[in-house]
Amino acid sequence: MQGIWTTERIRAAEDRLLAVTPDGELMRRAAFALAVHAAEMLAEHTGSVSGRRVTLLVGSGNNGGDALWAGAFLRRRNVAVSAILLKPERAHGPGLAALKRSGGKVVSLEDGPQWIRRADLVVDGIVGISARGPLRPDAAALLEHVSAPVLAVDLPSGVDPDTGAVDGPAVVADRTVTFGALKPVHALAPASCGEVSLVDIGLRLSEPDLQRLDTADVAAAWPVPGPDDDKYSQGVVGVAAGSATYPGAAVLAAGAAVRATSGLVRYAGHAADVVRGQWPEVIATGSVTDAGRVQAWVVGPGIGTGHEGREVLRFVLGRGVPVCADADATTIIARSPDVLDARDPDTPLVLTPHAGEFERLMGSPPGADRVAAARAAARKYDAVVLLKGHCTVVAAPDGRALVNTPRGSWLATAGSGDVLSGLVGALLAAGLDPWLAAGAAAHVHSLAGSLAADGAPTSASGILGAIPDALRSVRSLTS
């Protein structure tokens, strides 16, 4: 697991470290690493370092100080460094002195645009973890002139450090070099951060506020059959999805369950014939009441939100096994919360809303702080909540939260959520902790999406077809 800490926690840890570190030492550690990355980017984009032009955007805090010191280090490699000071009277004193000593140039805010346009690389030192609200107009105006690659110091300015939300003009970085620990912005705003590099400056932090699964975590968690297993022992998953008019959801959710784990998948609903035709290995029946025993249910995609759907949901919630309630099932729960009375409070429930379904469940949209939103829903429903979106957040009622950072946006295609619910259900049936099941499913789902797309649009069927390759790629770490 990768740990992610809020800026409040990071600031407290920095204060502890600053108290036992010589003055300026931490900033120099940070800035040296920045300069190394800047040189690497110059070499990558222009073929050389010496003689290239770097322009620093320098705010009034330590983030600007990092940029100024990095500029001084770059001068040693004969880089032409110019610094635009947003508040000259408040620029970081020692950093500015170091830049001037090294032969770096300070240019006025008015002349800034031409220096930005001529740069081979722009270093964003406008704001770091003390940023508040949208970028101020003078900083925002400078960004209009940026066309060179951008290296962000600690985080891309204009993006909220704790939520990743963007409200107005903001830096879009090619690379972000961050110090001490990952902050929420790095997991929640991947498109603004670009490639993220973490530099160790010696910070010591305890339990993270947010986590991200490593491929190795997913590999370790994903169930594989052993010598003593048979088709039943690995957990049988039941899928209650689709309808005669909309059989696609049933085919996709059941198919994802088939591909996710070995063992057995049952289907119950009005699309039994179509599911059987597509997946002969699935045992399909017309109704949940005669589906047979399962160790987890996936319920909801395409079942409708009327009386029959409600009764199907009530039935599966009452079976005493984990349930992944998706799509129409989340809408039914929002409209008729009493269906949850059928649930044994000790059996796991995973809800997988997209933003619209979340709004139905909670009465308001997720808003800028999606982690807090998912946590609130998890508490309210005493369920694991997987909040879908570009970055998917998974929160448990006990407060654990993880984020799945996507590889592009290829998953934004019809039916893709049905594939995800099949994956979650298969992992629940195998007995995984529901929070980990949801996180691991989201991880493999997005990996399958990017493998299926491979640079061109894909479809839910494509994502489904790429699940084996995604699992092979994940598992290659363990073999």
Ligand X SMILES: NC(=O)C1=CN([C@@H]2O[C@H](COP(=O)(O)OP(=O)(O)OC[C@H]3O[C@@H](n4cnc5c(N)ncnc54)[C@H](OP(=O)(O)O)[C@@H]3O)[C@@H](O)[C@H]2O)[C@@H](O)CC1
Ligand Y SMILES: Nc1ncnc2c1ncn2[C@@H]1O[C@H](COP(=O)(O)OP(=O)(O)O)[C@@H](O)[C@H]1O
Give 136's DSSP letter: P
* Comparison of 30 and 349: residue with beta carbon closer to K ion: 30
* Comparison of 171 and 265: residue with beta carbon closer to ligand X: 171
From the CB of residue 201, how many other CB atoms can be counted at a distance below 10 Å? Answer: 19
To the nearest whole angstrom, how small is the minimum distance from the Cβ of residue 48 to ligand X? Answer: 27
266, 267, 270: which is closest to 242 by C-alpha? 270
DSSP string for residues in 172-213? --SEEEEESSB-HHHHH-HHHH-EEEEE-------S-SEEE-
Q: Quickly tell me which residue has 């300069």 as its tokens.
A: 35
By CB under 5 A, residue 62 contacts K ion: no
Q: Which of residues 134-173 bind ligand Y (CB under 6 A)?
A: none
Secondary structure (3-state) at 322: coil
Stretch that binds ligand Y, among 271-279, 368-376, 383-391, 395-403 (CB under 6 A): 383-391
Virtual torsion, Cα 273, 279, 283, 285, nearest 10 deg = -20
Q: List the single partner that 61 binds among ligand Y, ligand X, K ion, none, CB under 5 to 8 Å by kind.
A: ligand X
* Comparison of 127 and 386: residue with beta carbon closer to ligand Y: 386
By CB under 6 A, residue 192 contacts ligand Y: no
Judged by phi (left if over 0) then psi (alpha if -120 to 50, else beta), residue 301 lies in beta
By CB under 6 A, residue 4 contacts ligand Y: no
By CB under 5 A, residue 157 contacts K ion: yes
Q: Which of 78, 108, 114, 130 binds ligand X (CB under 6 A)?
A: 130
Q: Say if residue 95 carries a ligand binding annotation.
A: no
By CB under 6 A, residue 179 contacts ligand X: yes
By CB under 6 A, residue 459 contacts ligand Y: no
Q: Say if residue 212 carries a ligand binding annotation.
A: no
Q: CA geometry: angle at 315 spanning 366 and 295, to 5°?
A: 85
Q: Which of 135, 151, 432, 440 binds ligand X (CB under 6 A)?
A: 135
* Comparison of 17 and 191: residue with beta carbon closer to ligand Y: 191
Residue nearest to ligand X (CB): 128
- φ and ψ at residue 148, rounded to 5 degrees: -75, 165
Q: What is the CA radius of gyration of the chain?
A: 26
Secondary structure (3-state) at 107: strand
Residue 127's alpha-carbon distances to 119, 202, 235, 383, in angstroms, are: 20, 22, 50, 37
Rounded to an integer, what distance in angstroms lies between the CA atom of residue 373 and that of residue 163? 11
How many residues lie near ligand Y (CB under 6 A)? 17
* Comparison of 37 and 445: residue with beta carbon closer to ligand Y: 445
Q: Say if residue 192 carries a ligand binding annotation.
A: no
475: exposed, middle or buried (Cβ count in 10 Å: 0-12, 13-18, 19+): middle
Beta-carbon-side half-sphere exposure of residue 361 (alpha carbons within 13 Å): 32
* Comparison of 129 and 254: residue with beta carbon closer to K ion: 129
By CB under 6 A, residue 1 contacts ligand Y: no
Rounded to an integer, what distance in angstroms lies between the CA atom of residue 445 and that of residue 474? 12
Q: Say if residue 64 carries a ligand binding annotation.
A: yes
Q: Quickly tell me which residue has 């249910």 as its tokens.
A: 297
By CB under 6 A, residue 305 contacts ligand Y: no
Q: Which of 14, 124, 209, 418 binds ligand X (CB under 6 A)?
A: 14
Binding to ligand Y by CB under 6 A, coded x per residue (else -) over 13-42, reads: ------------------------------
91: exposed, middle or buried (Cβ count in 10 Å: 0-12, 13-18, 19+): buried
The per-residue b/e assignment along 158-193, b for 16 or more CB within 10 angstroms, e otherwise, is bbbbbbbbbeebbbbbbbbbbbbbbbbbbbbbbbbb
Q: Say if residue 249 carries a ligand binding annotation.
A: yes
Q: Which of 27, 106, 159, 298 binds ligand X (CB under 6 A)?
A: 27
The per-residue b/e assignment along 107-144, b for 16 or more CB within 10 angstroms, e otherwise, is beeeebbebbeebbbbbbbbbbbebeebbbeebbebbe
By CB under 5 A, residue 153 contacts K ion: yes
- Roughly how many angstroms between the first and final C-alpha of the chain, as a whole number? 19
Residues with Cβ within 8 Å of residue 330, at least 6 apart in sequence: 300, 351, 352, 353, 357, 360, 361
* Comparison of 8 and 214: residue with beta carbon closer to ligand X: 8
By CB under 6 A, residue 71 contacts ligand X: no
Q: Which of residues 200-259 bind ligand X (CB under 6 A)?
A: 201
Q: List the single partner that 124 binds among ligand Y, K ion, ligand X, none, CB under 5 to 8 Å by kind.
A: K ion
Pairing of strands 265-268, 323-325: unpaired
Stretch that binds ligand Y, among 62-70, 276-284, 417-425, 468-476 (CB under 6 A): 417-425
By CB under 6 A, residue 63 contacts ligand X: yes
Q: Which of 22, 133, 345, 363 binds ligand X (CB under 6 A)?
A: 133
From the CB of residue 86, how many other CB atoms can be counted at a distance below 10 Å? Answer: 20
To the nearest whole angstrom, how small is the minimum distance from the Cβ of residue 449 to ligand Y? Answer: 7
By CB under 5 A, residue 124 contacts K ion: yes
To the nearest whole angstrom, how small is the minimum distance from the Cβ of residue 252 to ligand Y? Answer: 8
Q: Which of 2, 62, 176, 413 binds ligand X (CB under 6 A)?
A: 62
Q: Residues marked as binding for AMP?
A: 388-392, 417
Q: Residues marked as binding?
A: 62-66, 124, 128-134, 154, 157, 249, 302, 354, 388-392, 417-418
List contacts with K ion (CB under 5 A): 124, 152-153, 157
List contacts with ligand Y (CB under 6 A): 327, 354, 388-390, 392, 406, 409, 411-412, 414-418, 420, 445
